[in-house]
Structure 1
Amino acid sequence: MIAPFQALSAQHFDLLRPATADEIIAFAGTLLEQRLQRGPVLGGAEQVQAFLRTRLGGAARELFGVLFVDSRHQYLGFEILFMGSLRGSEVHPREVVRRALALNAAAVILVHNHPSGHLEPSPEDILLTRRIDDALALLDMRVLDHLIVSASDWVSLSARGWRFSDD
């Protein structure tokens, strides 16, 4: 059993009661998010993928999120924009663009999970990535990567040779 604690903040915890598995995962996600806020996203690729796997990897249904960064690739925020079923979710590029504009983002990292654990990008994943990339490019914003995650592993489209606008 993991030592009991209740997270009061990312820097402070008290030994009050046994924490649930969900609380521990949420606490880990908070710590990983704070690490992203301290430095450049591209300088911490391992932290980025660990954070995104923690946030989406173990979900029972498909989730689609976006990590937003500024022109120096400093972390601006992360949001889960779409929730779907076990087999998929409907993602609207205009909503990704709307949030990127609201946060004054210069670039994004797209991420979604595959609850099945099969991480091979589908033709729909590739088409969606292209559509979001094209929409953001019209506004001088970039897609840096699209990750597909599970609780234990991940696939990067850029690492597989995918080229985004302005690459």
Structure 2
Amino acid sequence: MAITDWPTHERPREKLLKLGAKNLSDTELLAIFLRTGTTGRNAVELARNLLTHFGGLSNLFSADKAALCNVQGVGIAKYTQLQAILEIARRTICEKLERGCMMNTPQLVRDFLHLSLANKQHEIFMAIFLDAKHHMIATEELFTGTLTQASVYPREVIKRALYHNAAAIIFAHNHTSGSTEPSQADKALTHILKKALDLIDIKVLDHFIIGNNEIMSFAEHNLI
């Protein structure tokens, strides 16, 4: 049945206008974005199928082009729209972080890192460079691949920190396994970076490990 044949109060768009976006389900929100379904399947049914196929919104938004476009009813256009929405959300949070002290907005920091790193197909090591008042100056993905002491170079981190004239820095990387348990290599790498940056009076505030659905903070576990 087409959504236009549904009772008005059950249609996602009308429901959003009446109750607000926060009162819609993931399926209903995604259906509004999709706008149209496929032959024999309306937008809500297509949205439900996508969420079931990928296991939720997070996995859906992080799916690569081939995986997404292999699903019937999804093509390049919808893939690029999904990526655009994800980037808009990330940039919105980034703008808020640039305007305020990051230490006063810990949840925004976590949201930003989750949008940037969760569910990636390879490991990414990134840094958030901060000024003396802990306002964000810049973010950079510094290294990719298997992250170890041998593949993350302290001199390159120092070079970028000095380039941005940073007074402090926050590190983050993702675990492709989805787990946020820090390995011995993670702990050793953090210690080496902190020691190197201490020499040039740049403070390491935290190191986050991003899993699929959670974030681990070295500072909160007294590992910094």
Tell me if both proteins adopt one fold, taking TM over 0.5 as the criterion: yes
- Structure 2 SS opposite 1:3: helix
Instruction: Give, in angstroms, the shift of residue 35 of structure 1.
Output: 1.0
Poorly superposed stretches of 4+, deviation over 4 Å: none
Contact residue 54 and residue 151 of structure 1 kept, 8 A: no
1:76 aligned onto 2:137: yes
Q: Distance in 2 between matches of 1:22 and 1:124?
A: 32
Structure of greater Rg = 2
Q: Distance in 2 between matches of 1:121 and 1:142?
A: 21
TM-score, with structure 2 as normaliser: 0.63
| Unmatched tracts of structure 2, length 5 or more | 1-30, 36-76
Query: Counterparts in 2 of 1:14-53, with a 5 A limit?
Result: 20-53=81-114
- Aligned equivalent of 1:10: none
Instruction: Give, in angstroms, the shift of residue 58 of structure 1.
Output: 2.0
Higher RCO, Cα 8 Å, sep 6+: 1
- Aligned equivalent of 1:11: none
More helix as a share of residues: 2
Query: Counterparts in 2 of 1:1-167, with a 5 A limit?
Result: 1-3=31-33, 20-85=81-146, 88=147, 90-163=151-224
Pairwise CA RMSD: 1.7
Once the two structures are superposed, what CA deviation does each residue of 1:30-71 show, in whole Å capped at 9, x if it has no partner?
A: 111111111011011100111011101121100000001011
- Structure 2 SS opposite 1:121: coil
- Structure 1 SS opposite 2:173: strand
- Structure 1 SS opposite 2:122: coil
Q: Which amino acid aligns with 1:3?
A: F
| Unmatched tracts of structure 1, length 5 or more | 6-16
Once the two structures are superposed, what CA deviation does each residue of 1:122-147 show, in whole Å capped at 9, x if it has no partner?
A: 00000100111011000011100000
Instruction: Give, in angstroms, the shift of residue 161 of structure 1.
Output: 1.2
More strand as a share of residues: 1
Equivalenced residues, count: 150
Contact residue 119 and residue 178 of structure 2 kept, 8 A: no
Question: How many percent identity over aligned positions?
Answer: 35
Q: Distance in 2 between matches of 1:2 and 1:94?
A: 48
Q: Distance in 2 between matches of 1:124 and 1:2?
A: 44
Change (3 A) 1:47 1:120: same
